[in-house]
Amino acid sequence: MRNLVFITLDSCRYDSWTAAEPEALARLGPVERRYSFATWTAPSHYNLLTGLIPHTSPPRVFASEYYKDDFLRYSERLGVEGIEFKRFLPHLWLPTFLKEIGYRTHGMVSLPVINPLTGINRSFDTFELMPSHNDMAAMVDRMHFDSDQPAFYMLNVGETHYPYALPHEDPKDWPRISGVHGVFKHMGDPGADAPEQFFDQEQLDALRQRQIGAVTYLDENVFPRLFEKLPADTWLVVTADHGELFGEEGFFGHGPVQHPKVTEVPFVEGLAP
């Protein structure tokens, strides 16, 4: 059985990926434009862990047929014959299914909304909220593979999430929205000040460039390290949990937003190079 690794670049828009023109990730295959089932982190990861990855939004196709075909892909992903939707029942939870067939299951996440005390942490052997919300390299350092047992890893990567900060940056230089500072430190605090005004378009354009820069950083500095660490015959899925708005029709961010760009995500999968 193959090792299986899911990586979500949190909030990464499809066109931020394409603007960055990542070379290391291109070794995995051509990026696809796909669509998330939800517009923010927690429900998107819940859906991912049912086994359903971002979809292609095909016309004139019954949803049941699309789901059936999507689950059939797990035979190729895992190197196991006969994987189909009914084998995921009754739990309909990918980590549970993988443990039942002999996998060790691990999660490392950057965003507190999917921390180990939430319902996302079910059937994981290990599950960690990382000390820093923007350090995928630390996740790669913690990954471990045994030759006698396949592993499943889910990595939720925070560099591409607001404030699109890289590990070497001084936090004093990060753009800030009071109360929603990348890691929700003051969410729900009645004493937290509301932002004085919405970002202007120049600020929003600068924020989008920060996300593009985060993709470039990960591609040049972290994914090559990951590729070196993954054992041969590891299946890798790289995508995003949702997109992001940078001023389109007056929106910024994601969550309580209905706009095509907040569900549009990059997607690539295949055997790790």
pLDDT in tens, 64-95: 999 999 999 999 999 999 898 888 999 999 99
Mean pLDDT of 247-270: 92
Mean pLDDT of 2-26: 97
Sign of CA dihedral 252, 257, 260, 263: positive
Alpha helices in the chain (DSSP H): 14-20, 23-26, 41-49, 63-72, 74-78, 94-100, 136-142, 201-217, 223-229, 260-263
Whether 103 shows a pLDDT value over 70: the answer reads yes
Residue 44 within a domain: yes
Whether 263 shows a pLDDT value over 90: the answer reads yes
At 161 the pLDDT is 95
Distance CA 102, CA 223 (A): 27
Residue 262 structural domain: 3-62+94-271
Give the CA radius of gyration of the chain.
18
Residue 67 within a domain: no
Whether 114 shows a pLDDT value over 60: the answer reads yes
Number of domains in the chain: 1
CATH of the domain at 233: 3.40.720.10
Under DSSP, is residue 254 helix (H, G, I), strand (E, B) or coil? Answer: coil
Distance CA 86, CA 244 (A): 34
Residue 86 within a domain: no
Does this model's pTM top 0.85? My answer is yes
Query: pLDDT by residue (tens digit) across 116-172?
Result: 999 999 999 999 999 999 999 999 999 999 999 999 999 999 999 999 999 988 877
Residue 236 within a domain: yes
Instruction: Give the mean pLDDT of the chain.
Output: 91
User: What are the tokens at 122?
Assistant: 């079910």
Residue 28 within a domain: yes
- β-partners of residue 153 are 5, 106
Residue 240 within a domain: yes
At 195 the pLDDT is 52
Strand (E) or helix (H) holding 236 = strand 234-239
